[in-house]
Amino acid sequence: MGAQDSEARHPARTRERPVDEVSGTLRLGGREFPAGSPVVMAIVNRTPDSFYDKGATFAPDKALSAVDRAVAEGAEIIDVGGVKAGPGDEVTAAQEIERTVGFVARVKEAYPQVVVSIDTWRAEVAVEAVAAGADLINDTWSGADPALAEVAARTGAGLVCSHAGGLTPRTRLHRAAFDDVVADVVARVTELAERAERLGVRPDGILIDPAHDFGKNTRHSLEVTRRLDELVATGRPVLVALSNKDFVGETLDLPVDRRLPGTLGATAISAWHGARVFRAHQVAETKQVLDMVAAIRGDRQPAVSRRGLA
């Protein structure tokens, strides 16, 4: 395919700039994350029915142990969620607050240097969580509650702007179709990020997330991964949530408990393209992949250097 054909097929690529020209320092809470330093966001679900761990961290003591382990393994953000993303039993805002807000406070007290994220689409939950110590609002449902960005603006919290393909929270797609899925993602997350800035959210606290699987079939999620550099070229820090998702399972025809190698492959590609934050269940393995990619890119030195020096 010639250059002109490629640009016609993927017009957003004509706007790309080198990663080091567009990715600045990300500031969340009291932390600063410079470009070239990928960050692991550990998933801790306060739900009894999460798709991956089936409620393994629903109990407070189990959840705190998971946080201890994640921090020890190198996570710098802890993402606390109180509602399963997919369809299931109804969880009211009051129930979500009960599951998450007190736990956010306990995590922040135990690890004040760690960024705490609240995974919610509800403004009323975000208000309580930020007051309890959350530094970041992870809105995986693409602004379903417009007031969520207002909470971030009013409190100084960071905000994740995502693409859900027009779905409402906790619904599944049916025959999703896009003329160009990446162009659609870029347009939506840019719209949300610009609105957030107009409301007063700090530009250096805004991330964009293509939201793999949300409103997308497997081929869409693969294309988003393949062309993730187009999101990076917007100049916004990119968060990816790849961990053990269905697009990995369908690509390799594997159940959820056997998707780690595929997840890490997608992680490496996303890191090479310039993604900044990686939401993950398996922190240690994800951190090793990110360190290796950073070393290959030249952003990180090897941990030791002995070979050929003796």
- Secondary structure of 260-286 in the HEC alphabet? HHHHHHHHHHHHHHCCCEEEECCHHHH
Which residues constitute the domain of residue 175? 26-297
In a domain? residue 2:
no
Q: Which of 99, 245, 259, 276 is catalytic?
A: 245
In a domain? residue 48:
yes
Q: What is the pLDDT of residue 23?
A: 54
Q: Which two tokens stand for residue 206?
A: 């805004």
Q: Which residues pair with 119 in a beta bridge?
A: 81, 138
If one counts the domains in the chain, the total is: 1
CB 149 within 8 Å of CB 156: no
In a domain? residue 6:
no
CB 100 within 8 Å of CB 82: yes
DSSP 72-120: HTT-SEEEEE-S-SSS-S---HHHHHHHHHHHHHHHHHH-TTSEEEEE-
Phi first, then psi, for residue 118 (nearest 5°) are -110, 120
In a domain? residue 139:
yes
Q: Residue 40, SS3?
A: strand
Q: Which two tokens stand for residue 172?
A: 């599944």
Indicate yes or no: pTM above 0.85: yes
Sites in the chain below the pLDDT cut of 70:
1-23
Q: What is the pLDDT of residue 14?
A: 34
CATH code assigned at 190? 3.20.20.20
Q: What is the pLDDT of residue 13?
A: 39
Q: What is the pLDDT of residue 3?
A: 35
* Distance between CA atoms of residues 33 and 143, nearest Å: 25
Q: Which two tokens stand for residue 97?
A: 């607050």
Residue 73's closest CA among 246, 291, 231?
291
Q: What is the pLDDT of residue 54?
A: 86
Phi-psi label, residue 264: left if phi above 0, alpha if psi -120 to 50, beta otherwise: alpha
In a domain? residue 305:
no
CB 139 within 8 Å of CB 190: no
In a domain? residue 17:
no
Half-sphere exposure of 201 (CA within 13 A, CB side): 26
In a domain? residue 125:
yes
Q: What is the pLDDT of residue 37?
A: 93
Phi first, then psi, for residue 80 (nearest 5°) are -105, 125
Annotated active-site residue 108? The verdict is no
In a domain? residue 11:
no
Q: Which of 188, 259, 279, 287 is catalytic?
A: 279
Annotated active-site residue 279? The verdict is yes
Q: What is the pLDDT of residue 129?
A: 98
Q: What is the pLDDT of residue 24?
A: 87
